[in-house]
Amino acid sequence: MSPAALSRPRVGVLAVQGAFAEHAVALADVGAAPAEVRTARDLDGLDGLVIPGGESTTLGLVAGRSGLLGALREATVDRGLPVLGTCAGMIVLARATACGEHQPLIGGMDIVVRRNAFGRQVASFEADLDLPLAGPDPLRAVFIRAPWIETAGPDVEVLATWDGHAVAARDRTRLVMAFHPELTRDRRVHQVFVDGVRDRREGTGPAEVTRSGGARVRAQ
Amino acid sequence: MADEAGHNGRTGTERVKQGLAQMLKGGVIMDVTDAEQARVAEAAGACAVMALERVPADIRREGGVARMADPDVVTRIQEAVTIPVMAKCRIGHFVEAQVLQALEVDFIDESEVLTPADEAHHVDKRLFTVPFVCGATDLGEALRRVGEGAAMIRTKGEAGTGNVVEAVRHMRSITAGIARVRSAAPEERFAIAKEMRAPLDLVEQVAELGRLPVVNFSAGGIATPADAALMMQLGADGVFVGSGIFKSEDPPARARAIVESVTHFADPEVVARVSRGLREAMPGLEIAALGEDGLLQARGW
C-alpha cells in the first residue's frame, strides 16, 4: 500500500437510510476513504464514522432490528470511535429527545435535542451561519425539518447558534450539526472532522476529534 | 419560490426542497388512510407516509372522480406521526396544492392516481414553498416535471395492481434515456431535447451528472420485499408502496419486511429471511386485462 493510501483514514458512513452517498462524496473530497456501513461487520477497521441525515426513527428502528444499533453504541461510546452526526445523526447520538418520543437512540452525547424544532418542511431554510470551527467565513447551512439542541451538559461545547438555539456542538469524540454540510460544496466541516480523525489515528494530534476554534457558548 | 423566514433564513429554495427528497433516500414511503395505519407505517420504519382517503386499489375498483384527501384526514395523520407526511393533489389542480401547502404537508404528490384536473398543464411547482414529487414513465417526462419545479421524481408503474412489471419498464426507460444522453455528442443534445420534449438545460445537466438532477423513487405495483429490492437494484433511490401493504394479510409484518429489504437490497440472504411468513400479498392484476382506459400511467403530459 502506498504511503498516500496509508494516510487516508477509513471513515464509515451509516448507510441504513438517508443522504449517505452525499457524505461519502464529501469524505473522499477531503482525503478520506469512505466505506458504507450496513451491518455490524462493516464497523471493523474504521477510523471514524459519519451518521447522516435521514429519518431518525427509521435509522433507529432499522439499525435496532439487525443488532447494528448495539454495535454502533459499542463503537462510539465504549471504544470512542470519532463520529460526525448531521441532523438525524445528531438526534440518534443524543442521550434523549425533548418530547420523550419512544425511539431507539445510540446515545452517549450529553445533549437533549428537540426534533423538527423549526417546524415542518414549509419552515425548512438555508442561511449563512457563523461556525468559527470551520473558519472566519460563514457557512451556508441547510436546515431541513431540523432539530436543535435544547440542553447541553458541561462536557459539551456549543459551536454555533441560530435564532438563539444551539445547532452545532462537540464533545471529546463527537461532532454534531443540526444542518446538512453534505448538501453544499463547502467541505470545511468534513475537512475538520477528517483532520481530527487522522490526527487521532496517527497519534500526532490532540486526543480530541475536533481541534479547537469554536467560542465556548453554553446552551441555556 | 424562496421567501424570507422570520429569522433571515430563506425557505422554499431549490436546495431546501430537493434536500428533503435526499433525506428520504434508501427509504420506503407508505400510503395510509388513517392515523392507525400511519402509526403502523412509522413503527415499521417508513421514512414518510402518503395521506390518502382511498388507496389506489380501491380507487381502481370503486371508480368515480378521485380528489385530494379531506383536510381532516391529512391533519389526523399529521398528528399521529413525527415522520414527513405527503399528500396527493390532482394533476394541474393548483388550488388543491395551495390547500395542501396551507395544511403544511411536507411534500405534495401531483399524482396520476387521482383524476386529472387539467388535460394540458401541470401545476407550476416553482411557485410553492412545499416540494413536489411527480410521476414519470421516461426521461423526457421526468425532465418536463423537473422543469416545472418538481423536487423529486417517482417512476409511475401502474398503481393499485400489485404488478411490478410497469415499474420495471419505467425505471429501465429512464435509465436507458440517461445512457443515451450521456453517450451523445454535445451537438446531438439539441435534437434529443426536442425529441424527448425536455428542457435543453436539464438534458445538459443529465449529460454532465450521469443521472437525474433530483432523487428518483420507484412506485406503482410494488407488493413484496423482492419487488422492492428489484427496484433498488435497478437504480431507484427508494420506493413508494401504495396498496401493497394495507391490502395484504399482515400489514405490520409486510411493512417491516419491505423496509428491511430496501436497506439490504443487494443482500439476497436478508431479502430471503424477511420474505418468510408474510402470509398473502395483495391480489395482483394483469396489466393487459386493464385495457387502455384502465391505465393510470397514461395521465400526465
Compute the mean pLDDT over every residue in chain B, rounded to the nearest whole number.
95
Average pLDDT over every residue of B186-209:
98
Query: Is the pLDDT score of A220 beyond 60?
Result: no
The per-residue pLDDT for B97 is 98
The per-residue pLDDT for B139 is 98
The per-residue pLDDT for A213 is 41
List pLDDT tens digits, range B237-257. 999 998 889 989 999 999 999
Query: Is the pLDDT score of A101 beyond 80?
Result: no
pLDDT confidence band for B17 (50 / 70 / 90): very high
Assess whether B88 carries a catalytic annotation: yes
List pLDDT tens digits, range B21-55. 999 999 999 999 999 999 999 999 999 999 998 88
ipTM of the complex: 0.93
pLDDT confidence band for B4 (50 / 70 / 90): low
The per-residue pLDDT for A4 is 56
Of B7, B10, B107, the CB nearest to A121: B107
| A93 Cβ contact list (under 8 Å, min separation 6) | A51, A76, A83, A85, A105, A106, A107, A108, A109, A111, A174, A176
Q: What percent of chain B has pLDDT over 90?
A: 84
Q: Least CA distance to A145: which residue of chain B?
A: B20
The per-residue pLDDT for A214 is 40
The per-residue pLDDT for A102 is 78
The per-residue pLDDT for B63 is 86
Cross-chain Cβ contact B44/A57 below 8 Å? no
Chains A, B: CB contacts under 8 A, how many? 129
List pLDDT tens digits, range B73-108. 999 999 999 999 999 999 999 999 999 999 999 999
Q: For residue B263, list chain A residues with Cβ-Cβ distance below 8 A.
A: 16-17, 38, 62
List pLDDT tens digits, range A4-28. 556 799 999 999 999 999 999 999 9
Task: List, in order of start, the domains of chain A with CATH numbers.
Answer: 3-202 (3.40.50.880)
Distance from CA of A162 to the nearest CA of B (A): 8
The per-residue pLDDT for B142 is 98
